[in-house]
Structure 1
Amino acid sequence: MSDYDFDLFVIGAGSGGTRASRMSAAYGAKVAVAEEYRVGGTCVIRGCVPKKLLIFGAHFAEDLKDARRFGWDVPDCRFDWPTLRDNVLADVDRLNGLYTQGLENNGVTIFHERATITGPNEVTLASGKVVRAKTILIAAGAHPHVPSFPGSEHGITSNEVFHLETLPKRVLIAGGGYIANEFAGIFNEFGSKVTLVNRTDVILRGYDAQVRDRLLQISMTKGIEFRFFAEFEKIEKQADESLLVSMSGHDPIEVDCVLFATGRVPNTKGLGLETVGVELNERGAIKVDADNRSTVESIYAVGDVTDRVQLTPVAIREGQAFADTLFGGKPHQVDYHCIPSAVFSHPPIASVGMTEGEARNKLGSVKVYTSDFRAMKNVLAGRHERALYKMICDGVTGRVVGLHMIGPDAPEILQAAAVAVKAGLTKDAFDATVALHPTMAEELVLLK
């Protein structure tokens, strides 16, 4: 009889933990997973999925106005936040059920409670039950960072935004990353007055400078206000429940809601990692090698808790690689080169590979090709918003090393183009491809 209750015990049933659990069990391992909140994790329950549904809802604001230019007799429409909110939360419930069913169908034991590590091969559940496992996988994800200053407790994060009772008339969003810019676009389209506050004057650090500047210009045209070089000093709740926000370098601003989108912190506190010698980096993330193994031989980690690349598809790939390597007899490692990413702003941004700045620093000789145009739909709608496509190539070989886009459906278009960049194709390969006309995507094979 085995000394262990399970071959694998997973802490966290998010994207990475669910994939690792399900695939390990499919390979014949005896698997258990502990989830203290809801099966599905950040992405499914309180992240990309419900946020994308809000984005779909937000698009109707412009689509309904544009429809009149296309001959549709559309009356003035009123947006009802509770309807969208409740429909989105109902879909989250549906997905939670599907993820739970997927684990159960593969024979995974689910503990709906918190688990902490009490030994290299031992986990203790909140109920007091002690479980022994040959291998432990930590996939506990991350949580939103809330800056510390007087009154910060009056703000909310992306965890709570999906549950707002009413749509705030005035919203202050703290941060300059993708979550901040996505929610700025969402609330602005719903009719809220949006002010985005950032410590620096750079939004979307890591994205190509031209593309992020284009988003800044368009966002300001749409009515989103930006306050740069601003540090929070205090938030005071007023008699009418509004919030008075004071910050350095700017006048105080009165709003109905403060949303913190200032980064995410790995969920490693209180897991008992220090008791078994699992090492963390300076950000509190678990140190792992290329095979996702921590500094303790029997303990592994995948996903946001490792703070390598905080993207759902990356966590899924890490969970798959873990299962394949340990239980599937197909050892392999995740390739982190050339990962595509998107910002579902209004309009959205999509990117893969090196930015122009990165390419010039690394390669020296580069060639840059661009297309700056108005989408056909925007022309007829009388919307002056311009899309920008940008291709970065190695100046010597012609190999495409980066693609960056802002415009309608940019993420949908980039996914296919990212295959070409990952495969190392050249600008000539794009040029040799016949354009699909009339589309926005054809600009990729017509770049000058």
Structure 2
Amino acid sequence: MAFDYDLFVIGGGSGGVRAARIAASEGGATVALAEESRMGGTCVIRGCVPKKLMVFASGYPDAVEDARAYGWDASIGGFDWPAFRGKLDRELDRLEAAYRSGLTSAGVEIFDERATVADAHTVALASGRKVTAKHILIATGGRPFVPDFPGCELAMSSDDVFQLESLPTSILVVGGGYIASEFACILHGLGVEVCQFYRGAQILRGFDDEARGHVASAMIDRGIHIKCGTDVIRLEKTERGVRAVTTDGSDQEFGAVLYATGRRPNTRGLGLEALGIELGRHGQIPVDGWSQTSVPSIYAVGDVTDRINLTPVAIREGHAFADTVFKGEPRQADHELVASAVFTQPELGSVGLSEEAAREQEPIEVYAAAFRPMQSLFAGRPDRVLMKLIVSQASRKVLGCHIVAPNAGEMIQLAAIAVKMGATKEDFDRTVAVHPTMAEELVTLRKPIRTA
């Protein structure tokens, strides 16, 4: 059977774009890609990139305060959100154009419309056209999840933050994950009064308990009101904003309410169930190590599979798929020891096992140090950083590394190389410290603070 394309990709995010480009430029495949929104997907348009630029913007008040402490005659005025947003929009336009250029240069045909799966080799476009492909790759990513409750239509999602016409004077952030915690810090840094509700016992579930407790304490010290064990019963519209009625019996009015209570795989209406692909509980597409579904011609990569929902992982999965199917180089994406960073203030960087997970696996030693870093200490701020290593008693391998500090994301990237290579605690000890730095603590931790 002759197909219109060797590969049809549904979704123009990081994973889909990488797969399409590699299959076309290096694999010699005829490739088409459909994207119903903007090219670049969640990371480029509604996630990592604009969020990190907002992180940078939100950090300047602290920088100016430190500058005064260091002797500079420095001051800062109000934050001009419209000016920032205009420049942000232009930057996202530039990045989207770069993604498009990369695809067209590789020979990929682009369809700016929604696409669904009609059968194992047929894609139906919103225009009514149907095309065939030997292989179909689903890379439609995820979407924000807002639970259904009275007044839920009054809440905005993380996608909506970037489209605000103006910043509210106060906001309730509901959720305890990294997206909620990051936006709580960002908006606080931009001058918004922030309250964060989370129904669990502590924010940043899934990360090392000591590290996430350190982040929460720092956020509270900065003036963010965190209320754990609290959830919203209903939201009510008021003249000045939104009133939240909560499970602890209180109610409070805010200028706006942001729900960051997780994301769901974006699989609604794709037509996969009709092909016999049984979706997971949250709509995720089950795949094997080769990113292949139960229908041999259909693959899926990225957040839509709900494996590890990080942009670099989606890119690795898309590249491995293209190498395997179109270049004759069988390769699976490696999901072991993937580092991550939470861009709160301070940041949290993590790779490997938490202390809690490690001690359930085997006997461990815990090395940690919490201290006031030189820069903020001199400036008179009470900030504290945390450096923590989890070590196997038997093999001496470093099983986990957790850093809470300014620029922890940059530090954990480098530490992840050593942990990925199987470095032992003694390898860390043999490494000469770079002084004076915060990160030198990682190689000067001599005695365990506890064993388990």
Letter of the structure 2 residue corresponding to residue 141 of structure 1: G
Deviation at 1:169, TM superposition (A): 0.7
| Partner Cα distance (1:318, 1:115) in 2 | 21
Moved more, 108-117 or 230-239: 230-239
**Residue in structure 1 matched with residue 3 of structure 2 by the alignment:** 4
2:450 is matched with: none
Q: Which of 363, 367, 370 is the matching residue for 2:365?
A: 367
**Which amino acid in the other structure matches residue 109 of structure 1?**
E
Which 5+ residue runs of structure 2 have no aligned equivalent? 447-452
Question: Given that residues 32 and 108 in structure 1 are in contact (C-alpha distance below 8 angstroms), is that contact kept between their aligned partners in structure 2?
Answer: yes
Unmatched 5+ stretches in structure 1: none
Matched-pair identity in %: 49
1:257 — aligned with what?
A: 256
Any idea what SS the aligned residue of 2:349 has?
strand
The answer to whether 1:88 aligns with 2:88 is: yes
Match of 1:247 in 2: 246
- 1:212-244 Cα distance to aligned partner (Å, 9 max, x none): 11111111111111122223211111133x111
Q: Secondary structure of 2:12's match?
A: coil
> Residue 183 in 1 paired to residue 174 in 2?
no
CA distance in 2: counterparts of 1:227 and 1:169, whole angstroms:
19
What does residue 420 of structure 2 align with?
422
How far did 1:335 drift? 1.4
- Residue 401 of structure 1 pairs with residue 405 of structure 2: no
Alignment check: 8 A CA contact 2:203 2:228 kept: no
Deviation at residue 76 of structure 1 after TM alignment? 4.0
Match of 1:377 in 2: 375
Letter in 1 for 2:222: K
Task: State the TM-score, normalized to the length of structure 2.
Answer: 0.97
Q: Is the 8 A contact 1:230 1:250 kept in 2?
A: no
Deviations 1:396-423 (A, max 9, x none): 2211010001011111011011000011
Distance 2:268 2:152 in 1: 21
**Counterpart position of 1:123:** 123
Question: Whole-Å Cα distance in 2 between the matches of residues 267 and 410 of structure 1?
Answer: 31
Residues 341-392 of structure 1 deviation map (CA, whole Å, 9 limit, x = unaligned): 11000000000000111110001x1111112111110111111110000000
The aligned residue for residue 224 of structure 2 is 224
CA distance in 2, matches of 1:215, 1:390: 14
Alignment of 1:285-364 (within 5 A): 285-363=284-362
Moved more, 180-189 or 437-446: 437-446
Give CA deviations for 1:159-182 in whole Å, capped at 9, x if unaligned: 110111111111100100000010
Q: How does 1:15-164 map to 2 (within 5 A)?
A: 15-26=14-25, 27-164=27-164
Q: Secondary structure at the match of 1:331?
A: coil
Distance in structure 1 (CA, Å) of the matches to 2:402 and 2:3: 50
Q: What CA distance in whole angstroms lies between the structure 2 residues aligned with 1:56 and 1:373?
A: 24
The separation in 2 between residues aligned to 1:186 and 1:234, in whole angstroms, is: 25
Aligned counterparts of 2:431 and 2:215: Cα–Cα separation in 1: 29
Q: Bigger shift: 287-296 or 371-380?
A: 371-380
The one-letter amino acid paired with 1:146 is V
Q: Greater shift after overlay, 130-139 or 246-255?
A: 246-255
Q: Could you tell me how far apart the structure 2 residues matched to 1:231 and 1:380 are? A: 40
Contact 2:33/2:110 (<8 A) preserved: yes
Give the 3-state SS of the residue equivalent to 2:406 in structure 1. coil
Q: How many residues align?
A: 445
Counterpart AA for 1:122: T
The 8 Å contact of residues 279 and 294 in structure 1, kept in 2 or not, is answered as no
CA distance in 2, matches of 1:325, 1:39: 25
Q: CA deviation at 1:334?
A: 1.2
- Most deviating of 174-183 and 223-232: 223-232
Runs of 4+ in 1 over 3 A off after TM superposition: none
Cα 1:375–1:355 change in 2 (3 A) is same
* CA displacement 1:145-196 (0-9 Å, x = unmatched): 0111111111111111011111111110010000001000001111111010
Preserved CA contact (<8 Å) 2:61 2:76: no
Mapped contact 2:8–2:31 kept (Cα < 8 A): yes
CA distance in 1, matches of 2:395, 2:15: 37
Cα deviation per residue 1:237-285 (whole Å; 9 max; x = unaligned)?
A: 1133x11111111411100111110000001110011221122112210
Structure 1 residue identity aligned to 2:308: V
SS at match of 1:350: strand
* Whole-Å separation in 1 of the counterparts to 2:445 and 2:324: 42
- The root-mean-square deviation of aligned C-alpha atoms, in Å, is 0.9
